């Protein structure tokens, strides 16, 4: 995609992978987080994406707001090192030292740099 | 993620092609698999299954763990005929997650008043579908009763192997339709894919009830394709005993 097509702009804005491509073409450094496994009740299904750039801009979601902050801070490291990371989030009281999912489920998130 | 593969994946998604982004969870390497690509072994079998179910997930194959992210286009529903049934069916199908377009060249039927908030085109299907040809992820619902309007989109949907093709009309009407489509060169097997009489047999009477019967049948064809294929090839006596006219 080189020039935005009128009427398709919102689609790109809503779609994390389309936006990731746009950011990449703009020369930004981008990481993609993907829900790869869920247990119990999970807010976003397997395959959901969150894209993050080096400045902390993001789009999409892996949990509907519960753990995005934690993923964002990990993304800065992944962008810097290029090493993919596996993140796991469970209920807040089981992993009190970090953020958790209030719905009681557990999710595994794969975080990787583009390029 | 490989940037080149991301661009290929997005291009495939824009073209409404089914694709799987495969990630080797040991080393993070990606591979893009298009529907129809031959992949050998256990992994190939897992990929085939993932395309069918459209469900993303982790698979273990050949001693390795892979994440398969399945990307299939959102289903479309093209409704030929801006009739009463369509007025009920279009919003119901939208609620169920379909991209809906209603097409009818008869401008008396296809009015914005009757179809607010619906992509409605008052034109012949041949022209109305130029920018959006019927594909495998489109359900075609033909409800005009008029061969001049219905036959072209039906033929087009059968040729494109749409996941659902249904047509309104009595068995007599359908018999004549079968004759015409046979003359037009479609095979017996292709024509047998048409759900006619259209809709699940739930005793539907009003336009809204018929819309429910049609939508349910479309969803079954989308989510359980093998079941609905079996249902078509051996219709039960009750299913053929009543028809939506």
DSSP string, B60-104: EETTEEEEEEEE-PPPEEEEE--SHHHHHHHHHHHHTT-EEEEE-
> Which has more confidence, B134 or B244?
B134
Mean of the pLDDT values across residues B171-186?
94
Q: Is A46 on the interface with B (CB under 8 A)?
A: yes
Mean of the pLDDT values across residues B75-88?
96
Query: What pTM was estimated for this model as a whole?
Result: 0.65
CA–CA distances in Å: residue A102 to residues A48, A87, A107: 18, 17, 12
Answer whether residue B225 shows pLDDT above 80: no
- pLDDT at res. A10: 46
Mean of the pLDDT values across residues B167-183?
93
Mean of the pLDDT values across residues B128-149?
93
Helix axes B84-95, B207-223, angle to 10 degrees: 40
Q: Is B8 on the interface with A (CB under 8 A)?
A: no
Residue B169: pLDDT band (50, 70, 90) is: confident
Q: Under an 8 A CB cutoff, do B57 and A37 touch? A: yes
Residue B117: pLDDT band (50, 70, 90) is: confident
- pLDDT at res. B232: 56
Find out whether the peptide bond into B197 is cis, omega within 30 degrees of 0: yes
Mean of the pLDDT values across residues A16-40?
94
Taking alpha carbons only, the member of A106, A112, A115, A90 closest to residue A33 is A112
The pLDDT mean for chain B works out to 90
Taking a C-beta distance cutoff of 8 angstroms, is the pair B19, B71 a contact? Answer: yes
- pLDDT at res. B14: 85
Give the chain B residue nearest A23 (alpha carbons).
B3
Residue A98: pLDDT band (50, 70, 90) is: low
ipTM over 0.85: no
Q: Under an 8 A CB cutoff, do B67 and A110 touch? A: yes
Q: Is A113 on the interface with B (CB under 8 A)?
A: yes
Q: Under an 8 A CB cutoff, do A114 and B1 touch? A: yes
- pLDDT at res. B96: 84
Mean of the pLDDT values across residues A77-84?
95
Q: Cα-flanking dihedrals φ and ψ of residue A32, to 5°?
A: -120, 125
Residue B234: pLDDT band (50, 70, 90) is: very low
Mean of the pLDDT values across residues B174-199?
95
Q: What is the pLDDT of residues A40-73, one digit of tens each?
A: 877 889 999 999 999 999 999 898 777 888 899 9
């Amino acid at each position: 995609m080189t020039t935005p097509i009128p009427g398709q702009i919102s689609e790109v804005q809503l779609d994390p992978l389309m936006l990731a491509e746009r950011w990449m073409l703009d020369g930004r450094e981008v990481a993609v987080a993907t829900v790869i496994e869920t247990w119990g009740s999970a807010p976003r299904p397997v395959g959901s994406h969150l894209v993050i750039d080096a400045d902390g801009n993001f789009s999409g979601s892996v949990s509907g707001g519960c753990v995005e902050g934690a993923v964002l801070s990990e993304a800065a490291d992944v962008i810097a090192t290029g090493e993919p990371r596996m993140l796991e989030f469970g209920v807040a009281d089981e992993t009190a030292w970090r953020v958790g999912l209030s719905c009681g489920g557990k999710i595994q998130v794969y975080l990787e740099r583009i390029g | 993620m490989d940037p080149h593969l991301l661009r290929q994946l997005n291009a495939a998604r824009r073209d409404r092609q089914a694709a799987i982004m495969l990630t080797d969870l040991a080393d993070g390497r990606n591979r893009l698999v298009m529907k129809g690509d031959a992949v050998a072994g256990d992994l190939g079998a897992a990929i085939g299954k993932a395309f069918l179910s459209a469900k993303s997930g982790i698979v273990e194959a050949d001693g390795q763990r892979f994440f398969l992210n399945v990307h299939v286009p959102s289903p479309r529903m093209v409704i030929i005929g801006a009739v009463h049934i369509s007025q009920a069916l279009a919003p119901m199908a939208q609620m169920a997650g379909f991209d809906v377009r209603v097409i009818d060249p008869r401008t008396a039927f296809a009015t914005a008043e009757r179809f607010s908030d619906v992509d409605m085109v008052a034109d012949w299907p041949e022209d109305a579908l130029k920018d959006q040809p019927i594909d495998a992820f489109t359900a075609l619902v033909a409800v005009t009763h008029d061969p001049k309007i219905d036959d072209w989109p039906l033929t087009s949907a059968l040729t494109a192997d749409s996941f659902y093709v249904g047509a309104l009309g009595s068995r007599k009407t359908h018999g004549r339709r079968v004759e015409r489509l046979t003359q037009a060169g479609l095979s017996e097997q292709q024509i047998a894919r048409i759900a006619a009489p259209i809709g699940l047999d739930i005793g539907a009477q009003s336009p809204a009830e018929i819309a429910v019967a049609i939508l349910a049948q479309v969803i079954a064809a989308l989510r359980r394709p093998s079941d609905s294929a079996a249902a078509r090839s051996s219709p039960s006596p009750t299913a053929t005993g009543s028809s939506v006219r």
